[in-house]
Amino acid sequence: MGRDVSQGAFTREDRVRYRHKVRRCLDVFALMLDDFGFDADRPMTGLEIELNLVDSAAEPAMRNEEILADIADPLFQTELGQFNLELNAEPRLIEGTGFADYEDDLRSSLARADERAARSDAKIVLVGILPTLTEGHLVEDNLSTNERYRVLNDQIVGARGEDIELDIRGVEQLRTHTDSIAPEAACTSLQFHLQVAPDSFADYWNASQAIAGVQVAVGANSPFLYGRQLWAETRIALFEQATDTRPDELKAQGVRPRVWFGERWITSIFDLFEENVRYFPPLLPICEDEDPVEVLHAGGVPQLGELRLHNGTVYRWNRPVYDIMNGRPHLRVENRVLPAGPTVVDMLANAAFYFGLARGLAESDRPIWSQLTFSSAEENFHAAARRGLEAVLHWPQLGDVPVTKLVLDELLPTAAAGLDGFGVTAAQRDRLLGIIEQRCRTGRNGAVWQTETVWAAERHQGMDRAAALHHMVQRYAELQRTNEPVHTWPLP
């Protein structure tokens, strides 16, 4: 939800009016899909990276407001927690040397932000969950001061009507309660945007859903929360639980969660927006002045503000996006499954793998979603989050297969062909997909490096868990700045 909100109390009339406006927007969107000219000539891509701020002792630094003011760059924004920032890369084509341009820009932006953060005794860490976070850090008082986060917290907690339970069982177990959505701030992600034409959106969204588990397994980087080792990508479980508006009774009745994998393959982007309206009550019933019907009939481009705001409060792992740039509407798949980090080059390897594989599968003669059940795709997603590179996934014609074998034998060639379709240079393609290959061959991604480093500190240096986590984060931050891929990082 990337917009400012100042209204905190909503009336019944607000909700009725908003529901009417959302449905009016949905009707207009359907008309636009039939005969409107969407921008899809040269598909742009985008990246969003959520960042953690830590102090010299590797503790979370609750200083995003002063650091953001010092950075003074519109590409950086606040995020949910006071120890978070978000970096939005400039959208670009990935043909030619587009990935190299991303790398130069991201490294330059992060270096500049790190220099500004140092003035506030802080530094930036790119990781899915900051391992030194404790329950005492993730409280309502540490939400960012932007009013939209307070309003969102009040609406989610109010809709639930009781404390939010966190119950994550992995290598170790965590069970606790929270009275706010502050634990969601621990989930720092890497998000990819891929612009697609209306008639191919369903293919790209379905392909993105099918490979979500593979992405998570290869890119896992969130093994610790509140001092416990849980899932390889604990961020998945934490985000699903920390924003759940349903008490137990509604869960038992089959009410859909707001953090949602989905439940079926689609035939149009309209399916997803229609599901949003049908299944999810509004959290932020804020109406715009625009009448989308009048704008459309006058030959303009409707903003569809209510529909977009509502879409922003349904947290699909692959989210549909309607947006307007330079006066032309376009559609995007927003891929939200991956954690931040460990390095810029690691994140770009994840990007190359996603963009290439999504295109390769979306344009294949026999769609993967015609061979894989949707429930299997969802099971793969959660199995991968639990086990990371050790996950065994179900795949058509292969049955149950180790994810590393699936990637090496089947999916890397498909991703390479997809990148060729985008016009990515062979050197960029081979460099970035080579990082994915080496993660699979070495069995080491961010989650593995973190856990092995902590184990070594505990077993060989006699540290307790808290000391081992702080030691690991300090070493992680040093190695991150080398921009060497994580599979090459030394272990103790």
pLDDT per residue as tens digits for the range 347-375: 999 999 999 999 999 999 999 999 999 99
pLDDT for position 373: 98
Q: Give the integer Cα–Cα distance in Å for 60 and 45.
A: 31
The DSSP bridge pattern shows strands 189-196 and 328-339 to be antiparallel
Cβ neighbours of residue 63 closer than 8 Å, sequence gap 6 or more: 53, 82, 83, 117, 120, 122
Instruction: Dump pLDDT digits (tens) for 284-296.
Output: 999 999 999 999 9
* Confidence band for 305, pLDDT divided at 50, 70 and 90: very high
Average pLDDT over residues 173-185: 95
Average pLDDT over residues 127-156: 93
CATH topology of domain 36-261+317-488: Creatine Kinase; Chain A, domain 2 (3.30.590)
Average pLDDT over residues 65-70: 96
Cβ neighbours of residue 428 closer than 8 Å, sequence gap 6 or more: 97, 98, 99, 100, 352, 419
Has residue 136 got a pLDDT over 80? yes
pLDDT for position 169: 97
pLDDT for position 8: 55
Average pLDDT over residues 165-178: 96
pLDDT for position 160: 86
Instruction: Dump pLDDT digits (tens) for 4-13.
Output: 455 557 888 9
pLDDT for position 7: 52
pLDDT for position 2: 45
What ranges do the domains of the chain cover?
36-261+317-488
Average pLDDT over residues 49-67: 97
pLDDT for position 197: 95
Has residue 68 got a pLDDT over 90? yes
Global confidence as pTM: 0.96
Q: Is the peptide bond before 342 cis (omega within 30 degrees of 0)?
A: yes
Instruction: Dump pLDDT digits (tens) for 1-36.
Output: 344 455 557 888 999 999 999 999 999 999 999 988
pLDDT for position 148: 85
Q: Residue 45's closest CA among 77, 89, 75?
A: 89
Instruction: Dump pLDDT digits (tens) for 438-481.
Output: 999 999 999 999 999 999 999 999 999 999 999 999 999 999 99
pLDDT for position 161: 87
* Confidence band for 276, pLDDT divided at 50, 70 and 90: very high
Average pLDDT over residues 394-400: 97
Has residue 241 got a pLDDT over 90? yes
- How much is the mean pLDDT over the chain? 95
Has residue 306 got a pLDDT over 80? yes
332: region left, alpha or beta (phi > 0 left; psi from -120 to 50 alpha): beta
| Range of lowest pLDDT (74-78, 145-149, 190-194, 411-415) | 145-149
User: Tokens at residue 453, please?
Assistant: 């480093």
pLDDT for position 4: 47
